[in-house]
Amino acid sequence: MPRWILVAIVSLLSGFAAVFIAALAVGELLSGAAPTAVSTLSVDFPVEPVRIPVHDNSRDENASVRGWLARGPRGGGLVLLVHSIRSNRVEMLSRARFLNDHGYGVLLIDLQAHGETPGERITFGVRESENVQAAVAYLRNAFPGERIGAIGVSLGAAAIVLAKTPLRLDAVVLESLHPTIEEAVENRLKLHLGQAGPALAPLLLWQLSFRLGIPAHELNPIEQIVNLNAPVLLISGSVDQHTRMVETERLFAAARQPKELWIVPGGGHFNMHAYAGKEYERRVTAFLDWYLRERNLTP
């Protein structure tokens, strides 16, 4: 065999190996756990630490969701706050403050494999949805008769939508939610690796599915959002490159009525409350107030 052919074959195999190793590394980065000692952080408004069993009657602390509860006036409603990927409940503190000041009780949780809630891998909403189900059940049991809403950001939004059994929620705010895992991966690869990045998507998606033991189609919120039996406010940034505006519009079209869409001018894939400030508070409280409070008063 001519030497140049041998060199070409070795170079080609080396290239394939490098791509495969890079995909494995990215997969590990995306799905690896993100633990944080959240309870050691100081919190500047009163909260109660809670541990919520993921499965009924479970006494295994490793099967419990860690969180903070801040109570509100009786009859004022409650809001569950669910953070984004590789974050924890601290991300939702600013929302918790203004909602609590507005008279809502709030529950902030760490999703599995985040913060102080145990978990081996991030599963992009599938296993995290069990944490959301447990948190809603906890609020229903602890505060009977109260109306309950939820705000989920990115992964937190996916965890709400991908719940396998209907969530007993009265209103839902979904921020920066991707329609499919394929688009989420492709958009991120393009952002970080340029136009050639999406070529790695099939390999990355395959090994993510293999690592998690979850078929890729089970990670697609757009296939499940119709099952969300609650009024929805969908929020996304107009220049979000992780979840493009056209993708958000497809999600909105797939959701049940009643529903509202707010495209935040100039907003990217980041904390919408921090970016939009008072306008965020005005829109979110108006939505929650109607479905958790005012609607009760209408004849």
Residue 139 belongs to a domain with what CATH number? 3.40.50.1820
Of 216, 243, 273, the residue that ends a domain is 216
Q: Where is pLDDT greater, at 44 or 1?
A: 44
Residues 235 and 95: their CA atoms lie apart, in Å, by 15
pLDDT recorded at residue 257: 98
Where does a domain end: 216, 235, 265? 216
Range of the domain at 260: 36-180+220-297
204 & 64 share domain: no
Considering the domain architecture, whether residues 116 and 192 belong to the same structural domain is answered as no
Q: How far apart are the first and last CA of the chain?
A: 87
H helices then E strands: how many in the chain?
9, 10
- At 196 the pLDDT is 65
Tally of domains within the chain: 2
Q: Are residues 27 and 145 in the same domain?
A: no
Shared-domain flag, residues 123 and 21: no
- Express each pLDDT in 223-282 by its tens digit: 999 999 999 999 999 999 999 999 999 999 999 999 999 999 999 988 999 999 999 999
User: Do 21 and 167 reside in the same domain of the chain?
Assistant: no
pLDDT digits (tens, 9 = 90+) for 176-209: 999 999 999 888 877 767 776 677 788 778 877 8
Phi (first) and psi of residue 217, to 5 degrees = -65, -20
241 and 271 share a domain?
Answer: yes
Tell me the sheet residues that pair with 174. 152, 234
Tokens for 292, please give them. Answer: 């958790």
- Same domain for 212 and 226? no
Quote the pTM value: 0.89
Residue 286 has pLDDT above 50, yes or no: yes
Query: Are 168 and 205 part of one and the same domain?
Result: no
Amino acid at 145: G
| Distance from C-alpha of 176 to C-alpha of 183, rounded to nearest angstrom | 13
**Angle CA(107)–CA(113)–CA(114) in degrees, nearest 5?**
50
Better pLDDT: 172 or 212: 172
130 and 259 part of one domain: yes
How many whole angstroms from its chain centre is CA 281?
19
Over residues 150-156, the mean pLDDT reads 98
Do 54 and 161 lie in one domain? The reply is yes
pLDDT at 187: 84
Cα(31)–Cα(253) distance, rounded to whole angstroms? 29
Least confidently predicted of 1-15, 29-43, 194-208: 1-15
Better-scored residue on pLDDT, 43 or 157: 157
Average pLDDT for 284-298: 85
- Residue range 137-163: mean pLDDT, rounded: 98
pLDDT of residue 16: 47
Give, in degrees to the nearest 5, the angle at Cα 125 between 157 and 34.
100
Cross-strand partners of 40: none
Question: Do residues 92 and 109 touch, judged by C-beta distance below 8 A?
Answer: no
Q: Are residues 18 and 148 in the same domain?
A: no
Task: Answer yes or no: do 152 and 285 share one domain.
Answer: yes
pLDDT at 26 (0 to 100): 54
